[in-house]
Structure 1
Amino acid sequence: MTASTAPPTDAPPALRVIRRDGTERPFDDSKIAVAMTKAFLAVEGEANASSSRLHHLVAELTAHVVAALMRHPTPAVHVEQIQDQVELALMRGEHHRVARSYVLYREEHARARGGEGGEAPAAGGAVVHVTAPDGTRAPLDRERVRTVVTEAVAGVDDVDVAPVLAELDRTVYDGITADELSQALVMAARALVEREPNYSLVASRLLLDRLRAEAVSHLAGAREIPDHAAMAERYPSYTKDYLRHAIAIGLVDPELATFDLDRVTAALRPERDLQIGFLGLQTLYDRYFLHERGTRFELPQAFFLRVAMGLAIRETDREERAVEFYELLSSFDFMASTPTLFNSGTTRPQLSSCFLTTIGDDLNSIFQGYRNNALLAKYSGGLGNDWTPVRGLGAHIRGTNGVSQGVVPFLKIAGDTAVAVNQGGKRKGAACAYLETWHVDIEEFLDLRKNTGDDRRRTHDMNTANWVPDEFLRRVVADGSWTLFSPDEVPDLHDLYGDAFADRYRAYEAAAERGEIRVHRTVRAVELWRRMLTMLFETGHPWITFKDPCNLRSPQQHAGVVHSSNLCTEITLNTHADADRGEVAVCNLGSVNLAAHVTADGLDADKLRRTVTTAVRMLDNVVDINFYTIPEARRSNLRHRPIGLGLMGFSDALFVQGLSPASDDAVGFADRSAEALSWYAISASSDLAVERGRYATFDGSLWSRGILPIDSLELLAATRGEGELEIDRSTTMDWDSLRDRVRAQGMRNSNVMAIAPTATISNICGVGQSIEPIHLNLYVKSNMSGDFTVVNPYLVRDLKERDLWDEVMVSDLKYFDGSLAEIDRVPDELKQRYATAFEIEPRWLVAAASRRQKWLDQAQSLNLYLSGPSGRALDELYRLAWRSGLKTTYYLRTRAATSVEKSTLTGTDGRLSGVPSAPPPPPAAAVPAVPPTAPDLDPGQACRIDDPDCEACQ
C-alpha cells in the first residue's frame, strides 16, 4: 500500500506546514499516510503491505490526525506538531508497538540533524509579521513578547522564559494575527504543564494578559494592552467604568451604582489575579465573566466585587459588608455556588442552587410540575422531583373509569423538559426523579436509563434515585418478601417514616392478603435489591438514598416530610404538593475551601471560624435577595430560610498534612473538620437570629428543643435494630454551651450544612472537588476550551524533594494512568499518600462520610468507587453505607474504560481515550449478582464529576 491509495481527507486548503528551515509549504495529508504505513510495516512486516485492514486503518488514523490539525488555532502548523499528532493517534488507537517504532524513527532523525531534540524551530530565524485587527502588518515585537513572558514567570518556582519562547516559535507564522499570537503564547505555556505544574500559573498569567487587552479595549473603544503593573494602578477606575457600561447595557442591577464606589474599589486586590490557576481562569472566562456579543469586559477582581456587592445590597453598611464578602471570595477561602456567581448583582439575581418538588397524583399537578421545572431550570437551578404520589401501572382512574399507564410516561416528558430548557443557554438542564421502593412501578423505574427496550419508556438524560425506607433493608437482610403498591391505595405511606411507616406498611400487606387492595405485587426483597444494584452498576442509576435517616434527623420534621433529595443528593428539605400549602424546597449553597484552612500541623480553627461566620451571613442574604421564578419556592424559602454550607479541597487538605486517604488519621480529620464546620455554622446562624430574627417555623423544630445534628443520631438509633447503626458518636468541642445558646437565641436558618459536589467552583479555586479522593495524579481534563493537562502539584513537590521528578516519571505516570502503584522507584509512603480513588478500599470513604454525616443537618454528595465490582462487593458496600448512618449516596463509579494518553511527547494535550477493560469478577453465590459481562460504567450525562457541561449544583 502507498499513501496515494489512502482516501482523501477534507483538510482546509489554507492550512500550511512550517518546515524546519523556516519555509512553508501546503499541507499534504498523503505524507502522514506514508509515515504511518512505514511505521506499521516496520513492526508488522512487508506481508501486510497490501492488506485491506492496513489500508483502512491508516486511512482512519490519518483522518483523526487531520481532524486534530483542523482545530489548530492558527492556519500554519510546525512539522513537529504534525508528528506529535501522528504519535497521539497511534497511542489512542492502542497501537503501542507501532507508536514506539515511530518515536524511535523520530529520535534517529533528530540525532541525524545534529541535535538531541532536532534543529531550532524555523520561526526563530525567519521574519514574522503580525497582522493587526485593521489589516496592517508589522514585525513581531519579540522584545515585548519576552517582557510579557518574563512578567508571567516572575515569582513562580521552577519555570523559565526560554521554554515558553521555544514552544511559541513552533507555532508562530508570518501573518499571524494579534489575537492568534496571544492565544499561541497561552498554548505554549500550557504545553509545558505536564513536565512542571507551575507552568499552569504561567499560562494563566498569559491568558490574563489577553483578557486585560480584551476587556480594557472594549471599554475604551481602542486597542490597549496594559501590563499587570499598569492595570493594578487603574483597576479602581476600570471597575467603575465596567459597572457603568454593564448597567447601561442591562446586565447589572443599577442599584450597584449607588454604592460608594470609591470605597469599595479601593479594597480591590489586583495581585490576586496572578494567583488564579489556568484551569480556574479559563473556567471563569468561558462561563462566568460578563460579555457583550462574546467580548469579555469583566476582569477577575471586578467579577468578585460584583458578586460581593450583589450579596451585600440589602446590608445596613453595604460597603463594609461588600468588602468583607469580596475578601472571602477573592482569597478563595470560600466560594459561592455557580448560580450565585452567575447572577449576583445582575438584573435577574436567581442565586439558589437546588430546588425540590413533590408531584401530585393528578394532571394539573403533573403539568404544573413540568412548568415549575422549566422556570426553575431557566436560571441555573438543579432539580429534584419526588414522583412517588403518582399512581402506578394498572391503577384505576376514577374520572374516566380507565386504567393508569403508571408514572414512567410522565417521567419521559420530565426528562425531555430538562433537556429543552438548558439553563438559559449556559449549561445543561438537569433533573433527578425519586421514587420510593414500595411503588408498584419501581421495577420499570429501575430500567429508565437502559439503552435497550422501548425508548418511549426510557429517560436517557434524566437522573434517577431510589428513596429507600429502612423496612426494605431489614427485609433484604432477613431475606423476606416485599410488597409493591400503587400510592392511590396506600396514600399515607408517602408521608410516614421510621416505626410509623413500618407499622402501616405491614398493615397494608395484611390488607392486600385479605383482597382489600386492588393493585399490589409481592417480590423477594433480596431479588429487588439485586436488581437495584445491577442497574446501578450497568447504567449508573438509580442512586441509593435512604428515606428514614433523612427524616428522623431532619430539624424540620415538625413542619413536613423530606420526600426526596436533590440533583446531587446532598439536600434534604421538606416538600408538599398541595395547592394551598404547596412548598418547593430551595437551598442556597456555598463551600469552604478546606485546603485554605489547614497547615502541616492541622486545622486552623480560628480562621475557619471567621470564614464560616461570614459565609453563613452571605448565604442567608441570598434568601432575601433571590429572584424567585415560582411562588411556591419563594414561600418555602422565606418561611424556613435553609442554607447549605459545604466544603471542598478535602483531598488537598490531606496532602498538606501528609495524610493517606486510606487511614485512621484521614477518617479522624474528616470527623474533626466536619465537627468544627458544624459548630461554627450553627453558632453563626444562631447569632444571626439575634440580629435579624428567628426563621418563621423555628418553634417545634429540633433546634428549639436543643437537639443538634449530633444529638439527632439518637432519634435514628431509637428506630434501628441491633447491628443496624454503626457510627462513632465522639465529640471534641463544647456542644453543651452551643445547645443552650441555640435554645435561647434561636436559629436564623432551618438547615445550615450540606456538602455539594463543587464541580466548577473547585476548579476556580484550584483544589480538589468537594470530599472526593484524587482521581488520578496526572490526567487530561476537558472543558469548553479544550483539553488541559492536570498534574497533582503536591505529588510533584514530594517527588522533587526526593529527586524523583523527571521526564521518566512523567512517562511512567502516563503509562500507568496517573497511578503510582506500579512505579517501583516511588517509596511506599508516597504510594499510600497519593493513592487514587480506585486504589482506596471504599470502606474508608464510607467511614469518613459517616464521621461527617453525624455533624450535618442535611447530607453529602458521596461518590463510591469500586475497582473490581462484584455482586458481593456491591451488596456489602451499600449495606455498610446504610449501617454507617449515611443519608444518601451519589454515583457508583467502577473502573472507567478510559486511560491517560500514553504519549512520550512532552507538552502534548490529549483526550482520555476509551480502552476496553476486563469484565468484573463473577458474583458470589447467594448475594446480589452483577452480570459478568456488564459494561464499564458511564456515570451519566448530568452532574458527573468529569462532565465539563455540568455543575448543576455548583
Structure 2
Amino acid sequence: MQLTTFEGQTAAELGRAAAPSADYSQYKTIRRNGSVVPFEPVKISIATTKAFLAVVGGQGATSASIRDKVAQLTEMVVGALMRRKPEGGAIHIEEIQDQVELALMRSGEHDVARAYVLYREERTRERAARGEALANVTINVLRKNGARQPLDMARLRATIESACAGLAATDVDAILGETLKNIYDGVPEEEVNKSSILAARALIEQDPAYDYVTARLLLNNIRLEILGEAVSQEEMGAQYAAYFPQYIARGIEAELLDERLGEFDLARLGAALNADRDLKFGYLGLQTLYDRYFLHVDDVRIEMPQAFFMRVAMGLSLNEVDRETRAIEFYNVLSTFDFMSSTPTLFNSGTRRSQLSSCYLTTVGDDLDGIYEAIKENALLSKFAGGLGNDWTPVRAMGSHIKGTNGKSQGVVPFLKVVNDTAVAVNQGGKRKGAVCAYLETWHADIEEFLELRKNTGDDRRRTHDMNTANWIPDLFMKRVMEGADWTLLSPSECPDLHDLFGAAFEKRYREYEAMAERGELKVFKRIPALSLWRKMLTMLFETGHPWMTFKDPCNIRSPQQHMGVVHSSNLCTEITLNTNDDEIAVCNLGSVNLANHMKDGKLDGEKIGRTVRTAMRMLDNVIDINFYPVKKARNANLKHRPVGMGIMGFQDCLHIQRIPYGSDAAVEFADESMELVAYHAYWASTELAAERGRYPSYKGSLWDRGILPHDSLNLLAAERGGYLEIDRTERLDWNALRERIREHGMRNSNCLAIAPTATIANIIGVSASIEPTFQNLFVKSNLSGEFTVTNEYLVRDLKKLGLWDEVMVGDLKYFDGSLGRIDRIPAELKSIYATAFEVDPKWLVEAGARRQKWIDQAQSLNLYMAGASGKKLDELYKFAWTRGLKTTYYLRTLAASNAEKSTGRGGELNAVPVTGGYAEARAEEMLPATDAKFCSIDNPDCESCQ
C-alpha cells in the first residue's frame, strides 16, 4: 500500500482525523525487535486508511466516508484490545494487526481486508530479506522489590512445563514462544506471568487441556501477588501451612475477618490444606474466584484458593462443639468440588458481616406504609447480596377506591417502577447488581399492564427494564384456559381473602366473587376470555422474556408448611416456595451437590452421595444460626421454620459420562433416579440433625408431622386439582423406613431441597450449571472477569478417539455455533449425545423436571429452550408443564429460524453475532457466538442472584 493522497489529504492526515482522542498512556506497544513504544491508536487509523485508499483510490468515496469508516473500525480494534487488558499493559504489534484484520472482516470490508493481509505478508518478506531478528534486545525483568535482573529463561520454561505436567496434547514450546513475543526489556515480573497466561489461553480452543494449563499459570501470578515472591506449585505444600495463620491474622487486622477465626487451631487447619487441589481449577473458575471472591486489602489479594475454602468452612463451623474437625470436614467437600455453597455464603462466610443467605421472599401490604416498608426492606436485603421475590398481589388495582383521600388508586405499576430503580441503586456492595422479581396473581385487575412492564415501547414511566416479573397462576385459570371459559379480573381491595386461598377453597370463593361482580356488588372487575389473557401472557413471554410462568396451587398444596400459612410467590430464580406474610420474610440458604463428582464406574455412587449430602445439610443448617439478618422479619421466619435449599449441578456432565442424550427416556429416568437418591439422603440427614439438635419450632402439624413426604403430596395435588395431572409415581428406595424415622425424630428443617441455577458456582468448579443442557459445544463466555473459551471436554475426548479432532473441526464448530448437526463427518450417535440446548425438544426438559419435582419439597429453576418458537409450540409447552405438575418455570430462551452470516478471523477468535430480542440488554455478560437468540444474562448476577 502506498501513502495515497485523497482530495488533498494524505493517509496519515486522514488517519489522524479518525483516531480516538482518549488517554491510552497506560498501554504500550511491543515492536518486533522487542523494544517498547507508546500505544498510539492513530497508527491503527493510519494503517486502516492506507488499506482503504489502496482499494478505493480517489474514486467512489469521499474523505468523510473514509474517516467515518476508519473511526468506527479503529474504535472496534481499540475496544477489543482494551477488553483483553482493562488494567493496561503492553500489546504486541502482531496482536494489534490481527485485530485490525478481524475488524475489517467482521465489518464486511473483505477487499480492504485482503489488501491489508497482502500488505502484512509483503512486510514480513521484506523483514526476512533484511535478516531482522524478532528480538535482539536484552530483556530485564523488574522485580516487585524494584530490582532489575535478566529474564531467567530456564525458570520460565520450567514454570510452563510444570503447568503442562500430566496434561497430554500440550505444547510447552508453543506457549513459551508466544510468551516471549509479548514481553520486553523492563517488563514487570507479574507481566511475564500474564503473558504466559494469555499465550496458553489462546490455545484453549485447540484442546481443553490448555484450560488447566492457563489456570495453573494464573496460580503463579496469584502466588506472586499474595506471597510476594515467585513460588512453584511443588513448593506450596509446605508454604500453605506457614501462610495460613498469617493470612487469618492479616484479615482480622484489616477488619475483614471475624475475630473468632483467630481462636481456631490455625496450625491444625493450615496443615489440612491440600495444595494439590489448586490444580482442579479450570481457567474460568479460578479467574472468577480471583476477581470476585478472594478477599483483598487495598486491591491486593490476600486469599489463596485453599485458604478461601477453609475460611468459608471456618465461618460455617463457628458454633460447632469441635470446630476444627467440622471445619476440616466442610473444607474437604468444598475444596474437592463435591459440594459448593452459594455465592453469598462464599462471599461472606467468616467475615464480619456474614450475610450467607441467598434468597428472600416478601409480601407487600396494601397501604403506603406497607409499600414503602417493603421497598426499604428490598434495599436492606439487596445491600448484603440477597436475591428478592416480592408478592405484590395484595396491592389494590388501578381505579380502586382510596378511603383516606376519597380518590382512586393508580395501581401496582407506579410502585414497581420505584422497586426497579431501587434494585439498580443498591448494588450489593459493588460485587453484583441488585436483583428482584415481582409476582402478581393472574386474577389481579392490573395483570394486563403488569404483563407489559418489560416492553421497550410505551410510557417509560410504566416500564421496568431492570427487574424481573412472574405470573403467579392459580389452577382455576389454567382450567378455564383448557376449557375455553371466561376469566374475571378483580381488585384485592374488594376480595382480600383470595390472596390467602388455594386449591378448592380458592375456586369456591373466586366463583362467589364472580357472582358478586355479575350482580354489580364489586366496583372494579373485568371479564375476558381466559384464552385471550393466556395468549397475551405467552406473547409477552416470547417478546420480552417476562413474566415467567409459575403455578400457585402446586406450590401450596404440596408445601410441607401449609399449616403455617401460604406461599404467595417464589423468589428471583423461581426455585424457592416458602410462606410469607406481614410478619415474616421467607429466607432460604442454598448450596449444590456436584453430581458429576459422584459418578463411579458410569453410575451414581449412592454411598458417597449420602456422605456428601449429610455434610452439606449440616453446613446449610448452620447458616441459619450464624447468618446476619438485615431485617428482623427475616430472622424470625428463618429461625422458626429453618428452611434450606440444597440443589444439584453437573446433571449434563453425568449424561455425557453415561453417553445418554438429554432428549431421551434414559435421561428422564436418570433425572428421576438421581433426584430420588439426593432427596432421600437430604431428608434423612435432616432427621439426624433433628435427633441431635431438635425439631424446627413450627414442625407440629406440618406434612412431615402427618407422615406425608414430598412425593406423597402428589396425591393431595391430584385430589385438589380434580384432573389435569399426569406424572410417573415410581419409587426405588425404602421410603417407609424414612417415614418411620421422621415419626420418631421429626425434621430439623421445614424444607430441604431447591434446585437453583448455579451458574457462577458451576463455573468455579467447571461443570454444567444446575440441570441445564449443553448450551454450545464450543463458545466464548463473556462475563465480569473477561472472555473465556469453553469447549466440551467429553466431545473432544470422543472426537480424538475417532481421529476427528483437528483444526478443520474447530473451524466447523465455530461456524455452526458449537452445534454438530450440520457437520457431516460426525457420527449420528455423537450428534445425539452432544445435541445442544436448542436441538433438544423442550418437552424433554419438562419431563425430566417433572420427575425431579416429584421428590423436591420446594421447586427448581427450570429454563426452557425453544428453536423456531411459535404461539402453538409455546401454548403446548406451558400447558404440558402444568399438567406434569411443575411448580415453576424460569426463563424462556428462544431461537429464531435464521442466523446471521458468520465470519472468521486470525487469533482464534470465535464469531460474534449480535443478540436480538427480549434479552438484548444483557450484553454486559453474554455468551458468544450468540445467534439471534433471546437470552437472559447467563452468569450475570442480576439474572442468577441465588448462586
> TM-score under structure 2 normalisation?
0.93
Q: Which amino acid aligns with 1:9?
A: A
Preserved contact between residue 448 and residue 457 of structure 1 (Cα < 8 Å):
yes
User: Are 2:255 and 1:250 equivalent residues in the alignment?
Assistant: yes
For 1:212, the equivalent position in structure 2 comes to: 223
Q: How far is 1:492 from its partner? A: 0.8
More divergent stretch after superposition (567-576 vs 151-160): 151-160
User: Are 2:707 and 1:702 equivalent residues in the alignment?
Assistant: no
User: Are 2:896 and 1:891 equivalent residues in the alignment?
Assistant: no
Change (3 A) 1:10 1:176: farther
Preserved contact between residue 92 and residue 913 of structure 1 (Cα < 8 Å):
no
Q: How far is 1:648 from its partner? A: 0.7
User: Are 2:873 and 1:873 equivalent residues in the alignment?
Assistant: yes
Q: What SS is found at the alignment partner of 2:540?
A: helix
Q: Per-residue CA shift, 1:258-298, capped at 9, x if unaligned? A: 12222222211111011111111111111111110110011
For 1:142, the equivalent position in structure 2 comes to: 153
Q: How far is 1:302 from its partner? A: 0.7
Change (3 A) 1:714 1:383: same
Preserved contact between residue 110 and residue 119 of structure 1 (Cα < 8 Å):
no
Equivalent residues in 2 for 1:382-401, closer than 5 Å: 382-401=387-406
Q: Using the alignment, how far apart are the partners of 1:853 and 1:611 within structure 2?
A: 21
Change (3 A) 1:438 1:790: same
Q: What SS is found at the alignment partner of 1:699?
A: coil
Preserved contact between residue 566 and residue 580 of structure 2 (Cα < 8 Å):
yes
Q: How far is 1:328 from its partner? A: 0.3
Q: Per-residue CA shift, 1:293-315, capped at 9, x if unaligned? A: 11001101111111111111111
Q: What SS is found at the alignment partner of 2:822?
A: coil
User: Are 2:196 and 1:185 equivalent residues in the alignment?
Assistant: yes
Q: What SS is found at the alignment partner of 1:780?
A: strand
Q: Using the alignment, how far apart are the partners of 2:918 and 2:579 within structure 1?
A: 43
Q: Using the alignment, how far apart are the partners of 2:453 and 2:402 within structure 1?
A: 24
Q: Which amino acid aligns with 1:160?
A: D
Q: Per-residue CA shift, 1:118-162, capped at 9, x if unaligned? A: 999823x43222233455433222222112112211122221311
Preserved contact between residue 427 and residue 950 of structure 1 (Cα < 8 Å):
no
Q: Per-residue CA shift, 1:857-891, capped at 9, x if unaligned? A: 10000111111111111111111111111100100
Q: Using the alignment, how far apart are the partners of 2:894 and 2:476 within structure 1?
A: 28
Change (3 A) 1:97 1:648: farther
Q: Which amino acid aligns with 1:155?
A: G
Q: Which amino acid aligns with 1:3?
A: A
Q: Using the alignment, how far apart are the partners of 1:822 and 1:109 within structure 2?
A: 39
Q: How far is 1:91 from its partner? A: 4.2
Q: Which amino acid aligns with 1:702?
A: L
For 1:239, the equivalent position in structure 2 comes to: 244
For 1:809, the equivalent position in structure 2 comes to: 809
Change (3 A) 1:291 1:480: same
Equivalent residues in 2 for 1:708-787, closer than 5 Å: 708-722=709-723, 724-787=724-787
User: Are 2:552 and 1:547 equivalent residues in the alignment?
Assistant: yes
Equivalent residues in 2 for 1:48-63, closer than 5 Å: 48=60, 50=62, 56-63=68-75
Preserved contact between residue 359 and residue 369 of structure 1 (Cα < 8 Å):
yes
Q: What SS is found at the alignment partner of 1:695?
A: coil
Change (3 A) 1:697 1:167: same
For 1:405, the equivalent position in structure 2 comes to: 410
Q: What SS is found at the alignment partner of 2:564?
A: coil
Change (3 A) 1:458 1:155: same
Preserved contact between residue 588 and residue 642 of structure 1 (Cα < 8 Å):
yes
Q: Per-residue CA shift, 1:219-249, capped at 9, x if unaligned? A: xxxxx22222222102112101111111122
Q: Which amino acid aligns with 2:188?
A: T
Q: What SS is found at the alignment partner of 1:760?
A: helix
Equivalent residues in 2 for 1:302-451, closer than 5 Å: 302-451=307-456
Q: How far is 1:325 from its partner? A: 0.5
Question: Which of 251, 257, 269 is equivalent to 2:274?
Answer: 269
Change (3 A) 1:663 1:107: farther
Q: How far is 1:352 from its partner? A: 0.6
For 1:129, the equivalent position in structure 2 comes to: 140
For 1:153, the equivalent position in structure 2 comes to: 164
Q: How far is 1:53 from its partner? A: 5.1
For 1:587, the equivalent position in structure 2 comes to: 588
Q: Count residues with an aligned counterpart.
A: 921
Segments of structure 1 that go 5 or more residues without pairing to the other structure are: 218-223, 920-934
Q: Using the alignment, how far apart are the partners of 1:820 and 1:43 within structure 2?
A: 38
Change (3 A) 1:77 1:264: closer
> TM-score under structure 1 normalisation?
0.92
Change (3 A) 1:666 1:45: farther
Q: What SS is found at the alignment partner of 2:861?
A: coil
Change (3 A) 1:779 1:947: same
More divergent stretch after superposition (516-525 vs 748-757): 516-525
Segments of structure 2 that go 5 or more residues without pairing to the other structure are: 1-5, 920-930
Q: How far is 1:23 from its partner? A: 5.3
Q: How far is 1:175 from its partner? A: 2.1
Q: What SS is found at the alignment partner of 1:845?
A: helix
Preserved contact between residue 261 and residue 350 of structure 2 (Cα < 8 Å):
yes
Q: Using the alignment, how far apart are the partners of 2:51 and 2:917 within structure 1?
A: 26
User: Are 2:232 and 1:199 equivalent residues in the alignment?
Assistant: no
Preserved contact between residue 917 and residue 934 of structure 2 (Cα < 8 Å):
no
Change (3 A) 1:28 1:210: closer
Q: What SS is found at the alignment partner of 2:759?
A: coil
Change (3 A) 1:530 1:54: farther
User: Are 2:178 and 1:173 equivalent residues in the alignment?
Assistant: no
Q: Per-residue CA shift, 1:551-570, capped at 9, x if unaligned? A: 01101111100000000000
For 1:10, the equivalent position in structure 2 comes to: 20
Preserved contact between residue 20 and residue 119 of structure 1 (Cα < 8 Å):
no
Change (3 A) 1:898 1:561: farther
Q: Using the alignment, how far apart are the partners of 1:94 and 1:654 within structure 2?
A: 41
Q: What SS is found at the alignment partner of 1:80?
A: helix
Change (3 A) 1:237 1:20: closer
User: Are 2:797 and 1:797 equivalent residues in the alignment?
Assistant: yes
Q: Using the alignment, how far apart are the partners of 2:123 and 2:294 within structure 1?
A: 47
Q: How far is 1:626 from its partner? A: 0.9
For 2:922, the equivalent position in structure 1 comes to: none
Using the aligned pairs only, state the percent identity: 60
More divergent stretch after superposition (733-742 vs 425-434): 733-742
Q: Using the alignment, how far apart are the partners of 1:618 and 1:120 within structure 2?
A: 63
For 2:674, the equivalent position in structure 1 comes to: 673
Q: What SS is found at the alignment partner of 1:424?
A: helix
Q: Using the alignment, how far apart are the partners of 1:173 and 1:567 within structure 2?
A: 49
Question: Which of 261, 274, 287 is equivalent to 2:292?
Answer: 287
Q: Using the alignment, how far apart are the partners of 2:56 and 2:837 within structure 1?
A: 38
Equivalent residues in 2 for 1:454-473, closer than 5 Å: 454-473=459-478
Preserved contact between residue 624 and residue 639 of structure 2 (Cα < 8 Å):
yes
Q: Using the alignment, how far apart are the partners of 1:174 and 1:951 within structure 2?
A: 45
User: Are 2:698 and 1:690 equivalent residues in the alignment?
Assistant: no
Q: Using the alignment, how far apart are the partners of 2:82 and 2:358 within structure 1?
A: 38
For 2:859, the equivalent position in structure 1 comes to: 859
For 2:926, the equivalent position in structure 1 comes to: none
For 1:929, the equivalent position in structure 2 comes to: none
User: Are 2:944 and 1:947 equivalent residues in the alignment?
Assistant: no
Change (3 A) 1:709 1:39: farther
Q: How far is 1:95 from its partner? A: 5.2
Preserved contact between residue 395 and residue 403 of structure 1 (Cα < 8 Å):
yes
Change (3 A) 1:660 1:711: same
What do you get for the CA RMSD once the two structures are aligned?
2.7
Q: How far is 1:821 from its partner? A: 1.2
Q: Per-residue CA shift, 1:681-734, capped at 9, x if unaligned? A: 111111111111111111111111111111111111112244x11211111111
For 1:923, the equivalent position in structure 2 comes to: none
Q: What SS is found at the alignment partner of 2:587?
A: strand
Q: Which amino acid aligns with 2:11?
A: A
Q: Per-residue CA shift, 1:488-513, capped at 9, x if unaligned? A: 10011101111111111111001000
Change (3 A) 1:914 1:554: same
Change (3 A) 1:731 1:108: farther
Preserved contact between residue 787 and residue 911 of structure 1 (Cα < 8 Å):
no
Change (3 A) 1:603 1:899: farther
Preserved contact between residue 600 and residue 658 of structure 1 (Cα < 8 Å):
no
